[in-house]
Amino acid sequence: MVYVVTEACVDVQDKSCMQECPADCIFEGGRMSYINPDLCIDCGACVTACPVDAVFYDAELPADQEPYLELNERFFAEVETPKSGRKAGKIFFDVDEIAALAPRGKA
C-alpha cells in the first residue's frame, strides 16, 4: 500500500508535498512529481499538503487515475534516483504517458 501522485500534478508541481514528506520519497520529474513506492512509509502527509488534491492512497484511486499507480512505480525503474527526493532536485524525465500529454494550463 502506498500513496500515488496523479494527473492533477502535471504541469503544476507545487512541491509542497516534498517539504512535508518525512521519508523524502517524492521526486520532481519533468512535468509531475512521483512517489517512490519503495521509500513511501504510508503516512499521508502529502495528501493534505497538496493544493490540487493530486495524491491518493492506492486503495482509494479514482478509476480513471488507477494507471498512475504503475506510472509512479515505473518512473523509478526507468531513471536512476538517489535516496533523497529533496537532494535530487529536478529530474528532467517523465514516463512516456506523461511526456506525451498535451500541455496543461497552470492552476
Partner 1 sequence: MSTTRVAVIGSGPSGAYTAQLLTEESESPVEVDVFDRLPTPFGLVRYGVAPDHPRVKSITTSFAEVFEDTPGLRFLGNVHVGADVSIDELRSHYDAVVFAHGAPLDRRLDVPGEELARVHAVREFVSWYQGHPDQSAEAFVLDGRRAVVVGVGNVALDAARMLVREIDDLRRTDIPEHIVDAFAASTFEEVVVIGRRGPGFAKFTNKEFIELLEVESTDIVIDPADLELDAAQQAHVDADPAARRLLTTFRKAADRGILGRPKSIRFLFDRTPIGFVGDDGTLSGIRLAKTSDPSTTEVLETQLALRSVGYLGKPLDGLPFDERTGTVPHLDSRVVDGEVVVPGVYVAGWIKRGPNGVVGTNRKCALETVTSVLEDVAAREHTSTASTAAEVDELLSSRGVDVVDWHGWRAIEEAEGATGASVGRERVKLHDRDEMLRVAAAHRSLVGAPGHG
Residues of the shown chain interacting with partner 1 in the complex, contacts defined by CB under 8 A: 19-24, 40-49, 53, 56-57, 59-60
For residue 87, the minimal CB distance to partner 1 (Å) is 11
Name the residue nearer to partner 1 (CB basis): 30 or 66: 66
Report the C-alpha dihedral over residues 106, 102, 10, 76, rounded to 10 degrees: -150
Provide DSSP, 42-72.
S--HHHHH-TT--EEEGGG--GGGTHHHHHH
As to burial, measured by CB atoms within 10 angstroms (0-12 exposed, 13-18 middle, 19+ buried), residue 103 is: exposed
Name the residue nearer to partner 1 (CB basis): 61 or 79: 61
Name the residue nearer to partner 1 (CB basis): 65 or 93: 65
Would you call 91 helix, strand, or coil by DSSP? Answer: coil
For residue 72, the minimal CB distance to partner 1 (Å) is 16
| Cell numbers 531513471: residue | 79
Name the residue nearer to partner 1 (CB basis): 50 or 91: 50
For residue 78, the minimal CB distance to partner 1 (Å) is 24
For residue 44, the minimal CB distance to partner 1 (Å) is 6
